[in-house]
Amino acid sequence: MRGSGWPGSVILGVWVLFYLADRPSKARRLTTEQSTWLEGEISKEYDAEDDGHMEISLDAVKDPKILYLAFINLLYAVGLYGMTFFLPQIVAQLNPGYSATNIGLVGSIPYICGAIAMLLVARYSDLLGNRKPIVMGTLAVAVLGLVVTMVFKETPSLGMIGLCLLAIGVFSYLGPFWALASEALSRSQTAVGLATINAIAAAGGFFGPYVIGKTAAADGVIFSMAFPAACMALAIVLLIWVKPAKGTLAAVTETL
């Protein structure tokens, strides 16, 4: 097993299994009044959709809406995994004079930018209420970042700006997209539907690096990033037809 972080991940997973609360009433940091109020709000949301015949069915994986969202997320994943797998090589090609240490340090800059943007964009998405334009915007920023990196591959500073835009786009996408997916599905579809979307998107972890690796020139990988750029651009177009489920706040907001 590569890397040295897996023992910590296993320990954290065990800790989460035993100590992370799975409902407000079990959360120790909440007062009795807070947990009671939150449980009530959650029940109201469920009751709004519950007609007395609620059941979770694996047939949800056949739903065209779920498969449509899964395909969009797969296209995004091609860009995400393309970045995470090949970013060190891209940084090295932007400035061949970098040492291995410099590549590691400089390569961390896009991730820092992406982490900050992820928090800010998620907050703005909550305030706006309409997730779709946020998701489309984050993908557009990622595509722009790839284009900038490819065009200015001979100019390290501008190429790095492109990588930062790419990281900002791919990381900021996550929160708003999953909120959008939850709003687009009914309660009975949500559990299986989100799992299906996530599972299918994982295929992007194969297709992205495979195609980039196959199309990369012997002396450079930067121009092979046109493939993930095209995938994410297609995802933007497909998002146009994603609609929130009727009766949700997002559906009302989108009509305003």
Residues 46 and 84: their CA atoms lie apart, in Å, by 38
Structure confidence at residue 239 (pLDDT): 94
Packing angle, helices 131-151 and 156-172, rounded to 10: 160
Residue 137 has pLDDT above 80, yes or no: yes
Structure confidence at residue 59 (pLDDT): 64
Residues 129 and 121: their CA atoms lie apart, in Å, by 12
Q: What is the pLDDT of residues 145-155, one digit of tens each?
A: 999 998 888 88
Residue 157 has pLDDT above 60, yes or no: yes
Residues 212 and 221: their CA atoms lie apart, in Å, by 7
Q: What is the pLDDT of residues 186-195, one digit of tens each?
A: 776 777 888 8
For the residues 107-130, what does the mean pLDDT come to?
91
Closest to 137 in 3D by CA, of 91, 104, 170, 94: 170
Closest to 231 in 3D by CA, of 122, 105, 139, 135: 139
Confidence of residue 139 (pLDDT cuts 50, 70, 90): very high
163: its two tokens: 């990588």
Structure confidence at residue 82 (pLDDT): 81
Structure confidence at residue 52 (pLDDT): 47
> Is the separation of the CB atoms in 205 and 79 below 8 Å?
no
Structure confidence at residue 219 (pLDDT): 55
Residue 25 has pLDDT above 80, yes or no: no
List phi, psi (to 5°) of 80: -60, -50
Higher-pLDDT residue of 205 and 173 is 173
Lowest mean pLDDT among 12-21, 79-88, 155-164: 12-21
> Is the separation of the CB atoms in 165 and 141 below 8 Å?
yes
Structure confidence at residue 253 (pLDDT): 45
Give me the count of residues in the chain. Answer: 256
Maximum mean pLDDT: which of 71-80, 85-94, 183-192 = 71-80
